[in-house]
Amino acid sequence: MIAARKILADNSAFITGLGNVNRIFYGDAKQGQTLPYVILAQEGISFTHTKDGNENVDYETVQVSYYAANMQDTRNLALLGKAALDRYSGVLTVDTDSSETQTVLDCTIQDQSSFPALIENRDIYTYEQVYTMIIRK
């Protein structure tokens, strides 16, 4: 999930569409959050093992939820997110203080859905995308 946030935060087209890197949240956003915003959630993680031990490769399932005031803005943000994340591979510095890196071997979209919702007594539209990320740590 940290890798997904880093990929989105480093993508200038995505951040331009979102308006501000500080609108990417883990788990939930505070009430009254300025639209649009994104919430990342880790749906699961699995590990690979061999007879020699752990391969240090994690398979993370990450849900990316995009929220905006209308369906068109939500769809456009989801398209920008998909352009940044789908088929991404590369080395990311996920902690600048410690220079910790993660190698994303692959990031693939698995599912996408969209729907309107009434949240905080206001109409908010959402797209949800689910990705599988293969990460070497």
pLDDT of residue 54: 63
Residue ranges per domain, the chain? 2-136
Q: At what angle do helices 2-9 and 71-85 cross, to 10 degrees?
A: 110
Which of the 8 DSSP states describes residue 33?
P
Please give the span between the terminal C-alpha atoms of the chain, in angstroms, as a whole number: 13
pLDDT value of position 81: 97
The architecture CATH gives domain 2-136:
2-Layer Sandwich (3.30)
Beta bridge partners of 119: 122
CA dist., res. 117 & res. 53, Å (int) = 46
The confidence score (pLDDT) of residue 120 equals 72
CA-based nearest residue to 120, from 41, 35, 50, 38: 35
pTM of the complete model: 0.90
